[in-house]
Amino acid sequence: MTVIVVSGTGTEIGKTVTTAAVAAVALAAGRSVAVLKPAQTGVAPGGPGDAQEVTRLAGDGVTTLELARYPEPLAPDVAARRAGLAQVHPQDVADAAAKLATEHDLVLVEGAGGLLVRLDDEGGTLADAARLLDAPVLLVVTAGLGTLNSTALAAEALRARGVRQLGPVIGSWPADPDLASRCNLADLPKDAGTPLLGAVPEGAGSLHAPTFRAEAGSWLGPQLGGTWDGAVFAEREGLGTG
């Protein structure tokens, strides 16, 4: 059994679609998969959240669990406080993930927002939950200008907390990448301190679900069960050319 914490360098950068891709590849390999969403924000009661989106894309074989839901699209601690609802704490996340891990081959814990977004008034974060679980963090990053700094900061924060980074995945690779995005294919591993583990194409979440499942493995490296090759990808995308 394996627990992977999926976080990122910001919000709306492809964490859910990346989580779905990892889940789809694992399911195709015959593994049992659970996805834990500690805090869903910005979704009304009864509405489809990130966990439901993972199921839609990866398949009904995914077990999903949401610990808390807050209606306003804010950081979990603020959203909970404004809604008058209980906050989620890192230990809650760790306990729920550990229980799921006793029943599944792979547990993916998808955070809200960026790595150090607060879960509670004590300043607990998803990174703290990863430390409690002794689980690696899959860091979803952006492709273009500014990503090197945010990736380096996230990697430094993980090291300072004694949390292992599994590696970065580009959550939305542009259909027409600019020079910065292409150069970042070589520079992101330097700032992350680990090799790139994949690049999910822009718009992947809009694909027909069977197509998404069939193609997901080509977006992820062997460490995540896929066939993506960083060197081949960089050459194909014209790395270093104008």
Q: Answer yes or no: are the C-beta atoms of 41 and 76 closer than 8 Å.
A: yes
Out of 15, 37, 99, 190, which one is annotated catalytic? 37
Cα 40 to the center of its chain, rounded Å:
14
* Residue 75 to residue 83: CA distance in whole angstroms: 12
- Residue 241 has what pLDDT? 46
Beta-strand runs (E) in 44-187: 63-70, 106-110, 137-141, 165-173
> What does R_g of the chain's alpha carbons equal in angstroms?
17
Residue 36 is given by DSSP the state: E
For every residue of 188-226, DSSP letters joined together read: HHHHHTS---BEEETTGGGS-HHHHHHHGGGGB-GGGTS
Question: Which of 22, 9, 220 is closest to 117 using CA atoms?
Answer: 9
Average pLDDT, the chain: 95
Residue 161 is given by DSSP the state: T
- Contact partners, residue 128, CB within 8 Å, separation at least 6: 90, 161
Q: Which residues pair with 107 in a beta bridge?
A: 3, 34
Q: What pLDDT digit, counting tens, does each position of 47-71 carry?
A: 899 999 999 999 999 999 999 999 9
- Residue 239 has what pLDDT? 66
- Is 37 a known active-site residue? yes
Give pTM, 2 decimals: 0.95
Amino acid letter, residue 128: D
Q: From residue 42, how far is each of 111, 127, 158, 162, 225 by CA, in Å?
A: 14, 21, 27, 31, 32
pLDDT average, residue stretch 83-112: 97
23 pLDDT above the threshold of 80: yes
79 pLDDT above the threshold of 80: yes
242 pLDDT above the threshold of 80: no
pLDDT average, residue stretch 65-93: 97
- Residue 46 has what pLDDT? 87
When pLDDT is cut at 50, 70 and 90, the band that residue 217 belongs to is: very high
Q: What pLDDT digit, counting tens, does each position of 220-240 carry?
A: 999 999 999 999 999 898 664
93 pLDDT above the threshold of 80: yes
